[in-house]
Amino acid sequence: MFILHHLSNSRSQRVLWMLEELGFPYEIRFYKRDPKSMLAPPELRTIHPLGKAPILEDQVSGKPLILVETGAICEYLVSKADGRLGPPDQSAGLLRYRQFLHYAEGSVMPMLLAKLAVSRVPLLGNKGAKRIQPMIDHHLDYIERELTDRAWFAGDIITAADIMMSFPLEVAKGRAGLDASRPATMAWLDKIHSRPAYRLALTKGGEYAYA
C-alpha cells in the first residue's frame, strides 16, 4: 500500500487524483501549512530532507522507497500500473506526453510562483505582477492552441500529462487570468473536474482552494 504525505492546497492533490484514477490502495497522512508563513510544517522533513509535498512511500522488496517530485511520482505510478495513464502509442503522442509532463513544473509554475511572490512585495508588488502577467499570457495562449487541436494534452485519451497540467491551470484560473477568453482550456478544466476519480480525490484530500 502506498502512503501519500499530503499537504493542504498543494501539488500533492495531483498524486491523490492519480492514485484514485489507477485504483491503487493508499493511506493519506495529512499536513497543514503554517498559517503565517504558508510553508509546509517541519514534520515533513522527518520523511524527506526537503520537507516538501508530495512525498510518496512504497515498499520495494521489503524495503521502504521514498519518492518526491510530482512528475517523478507520476512516472513511477504509471510504471506500477503497467502503463495505464502513460503515453499514447504513436510517436507524436509520446513526445507530447513527455513535453507536458515536464512543462507543467518546468515552465508554467515558475511564472505563476513569480507573480505570487512579487505581488506580496510592499508598494511595488502590483506593478511587478503586471509585468509578469504578459509572460503568463504567452503560456496560456500556447496551451489554448494545443487544447483546441485535441481533447487531451498528449492525444485522444487522458494521461499523466493531464494530471501534471491540472495544478498550474487551476492556479492560473484562480490567480493569473485564465477565464472564458480561452474556451478550450476552460472546457478541459471542466472535463477533469467532472471525472469521478477527481471528485473522490477532493473528498478524501480535504482543503483544496483551486478546484
Structure confidence by residue, pLDDT tens digits, 127-176: 888 899 999 999 999 999 999 999 999 999 999 999 999 999 999 999 89
Whether residue 68 sits in one domain with residue 28: yes
Instruction: Output the pLDDT for position 125.
Output: 73
Return d(Cα 10, Cα 8) in angstroms, integer.
Answer: 6
Helix, strand, coil proportions of the chain in percent (round to 5)? 55, 10, 35
Whether residue 148 sits in one domain with residue 65: no
Name 181's Cβ contacts closer than 8 Å, sequence gap at least 6. none
Instruction: Output the pLDDT for position 29.
Output: 97
21 found inside a domain: yes
Which residues of the chain are modeled with pLDDT < 50? Answer: none
Whether residue 201 sits in one domain with residue 158: no
Whether residue 53 sits in one domain with residue 95: no
Q: CATH no. for residue 190?
A: 1.20.1050.10
210 found inside a domain: no
Q: Are the CB atoms for 70 and 61 separated by under 8 Å?
A: no
Whether residue 95 sits in one domain with residue 77: no
**Residue whose C-alpha is closest to residue 198's, from 32, 15, 2:** 15
Q: CATH no. for residue 24?
A: 3.40.30.10
Q: Are the CB atoms for 51 and 45 separated by under 8 Å?
A: yes
What is the distance between the terminal CA atoms of the chain, rounded to a whole angstrom? Answer: 27
CA distances from 76 to 66, 82, 113, 126, 139 (A): 11, 10, 26, 40, 27
Whether residue 137 sits in one domain with residue 56: no
Instruction: Output the pLDDT for position 98.
Output: 97
Whether residue 95 sits in one domain with residue 191: yes
147 found inside a domain: yes
Q: Which residues constitute the domain of residue 156? A: 91-195
Instruction: Output the pLDDT for position 207.
Output: 86
Q: Are the CB atoms for 66 and 55 separated by under 8 Å?
A: yes
Instruction: Output the pLDDT for position 178.
Output: 97
Instruction: Output the pLDDT for position 117.
Output: 86
Whether residue 191 sits in one domain with residue 95: yes
Whether residue 105 sits in one domain with residue 18: no
Instruction: Output the pLDDT for position 124.
Output: 72
Return d(Cα 69, Cα 145) in angstroms, integer.
Answer: 27
Number of domains in the chain: 2
User: Buried b vs exposed e over 99-118: b needs ≥16 C-beta within 10 Å?
Assistant: bbbebbbeebbebbebbeeb
Grid coordinates of 143: 496551451
56 found inside a domain: yes
211 found inside a domain: no
pTM: 0.94
172 found inside a domain: yes
Whether residue 187 sits in one domain with residue 201: no
27 found inside a domain: yes
Whether residue 114 sits in one domain with residue 37: no
Whether residue 201 sits in one domain with residue 175: no
CA trace torsion 119, 13, 191, 147 (10° rounding): 60
Grid coordinates of 147: 487544447
